[in-house]
Every structure is written in structure tokens, then in C-alpha cells.
């Protein structure tokens, strides 16, 4: 295996990133396909990804489903005004709900924007999303000082890590 230097990208790392910019191959052994493309072993590809994760070069490796294709057309970003000292607790609880794909803290921009917790809720239609949002509101109880649902109007292109061109 080639030696890896922390917080740097060598030629092999760059090849791996370029090979995965459009996503991992949808096959049983995606790392083997990438390894063949870049000229190393699947184990080396996995080790390089682990190093890039540990060094903060990449944040995560995960599936990015198209919720619309899966039949979830009522998707809405919910925004919540909750006490700042409880955000970590509630963010973790809400993020674990099976109908929430991600939850995170964002800064308030008062007086216009009082919301500090965001959670993407997925449902087959808006009524289903509203029912799920009611469950979150119940979970928050008195700590829910207000919320809104910002419904998706279109799909944004989701992309992975990109390298700047050397032009």
C-alpha cells in the first residue's frame, strides 16, 4: 500500500475522488470497481476514504436518495424555534425519526427569523407531512416556541466532492 500523508491529497486520492464524483457505482462491490479504475486494491480505496474522512477532507459517505422517485412528493423542511440550550438534545431525537432525513442547527436571524433547528420531513403528500410535523411538535412540547413547514418546490441537484480543475 502507498503511504498516506495526513491532510493532503496525493495522486491516488485525486484519482479516487474523480472516479466517484458522480457517485459510487451501483454494484455489489463498488470499491472493487473504483479500485480497478484507479489501479489499486479495493482495500486501499476503503483505507483512503477512511483517511479522507478522518482528515476532514470529506464529511461522509452515504446514499443520497431521490425522494420524489421513491414516491415522497410532500417533502418539507421544517424550521423550529426551540431553546438554544436544548438544541443538541432535540436535534438528535428528531434526526432519529424514520421520516426525517436530516436535522441540524442553523443560526437565528432575528427579528425576522427566529428558527434555530431545521429538520427535513418526508411524506407522500403534504397532509402526511403535516401529520408527521404534529408528532415532532408533540415531542417538543412546551419547548416548541413556533415552527413552519417550507415545502420543496423542486429537486436541487445533489453532488459529491469535486476537485477544482487545474486550468
Tell me the residue ranges of DSSP E strands in the chain.
Answer: 76-80, 100-105, 117-121, 147-151
For the ranges 92-101, 130-139, 144-153, the one whose mean pLDDT is highest: 130-139
Give the per-residue pLDDT at 140. Answer: 97
Segments in 56-119 forming alpha helices (H)? 87-95
Using CA atoms, how far residue 19 sits from 25, 34, 106, 124, in Å, is: 9, 6, 33, 34
Rounded Cα distance, 142 and 119, in Å: 18
Mean of the per-residue pLDDT values of the chain: 85
Residue 111 predicted with pLDDT over 80: yes
Mean pLDDT throughout 81-85?
97
Residue 107 predicted with pLDDT over 50: yes
- Flag whether the pTM goes above 0.85: no
Amino acid at each position: 500500500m502507498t503511504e498516506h500523508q495526513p491532510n493532503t491529497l496525493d495522486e491516488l486520492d485525486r484519482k479516487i475522488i474523480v472516479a466517484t464524483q458522480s457517485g459510487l457505482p451501483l454494484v455489489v462491490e463498488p470499491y472493487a470497481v473504483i479500485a480497478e479504475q484507479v489501479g489499486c486494491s479495493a482495500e486501499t480505496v476503503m483505507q483512503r476514504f477512511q483517511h479522507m474522512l478522518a482528515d476532514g477532507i470529506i464529511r461522509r459517505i452515504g446514499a443520497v436518495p431521490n425522494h420524489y422517485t421513491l414516491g415522497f412528493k410532500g417533502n418539507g423542511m421544517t424550521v423550529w424555534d426551540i431553546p438554544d440550550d436544548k438544541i443538541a438534545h432535540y436535534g438528535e431525537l428528531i434526526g432519529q425519526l424514520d421520516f426525517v432525513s436530516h436535522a441540524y442547527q442553523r443560526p437565528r436571524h432575528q427579528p425576522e427569523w427566529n428558527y434555530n433547528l431545521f429538520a427535513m420531513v418526508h411524506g407522500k403528500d403534504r397532509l402526511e407531512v403535516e401529520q408527521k410535523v404534529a408528532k415532532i411538535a408533540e415531542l417538543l412540547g412546551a419547548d416548541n416556541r413556533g415552527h413552519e413547514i417550507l415545502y420543496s418546490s423542486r429537486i436541487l441537484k445533489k453532488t459529491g466532492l469535486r476537485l477544482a480543475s487545474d486550468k
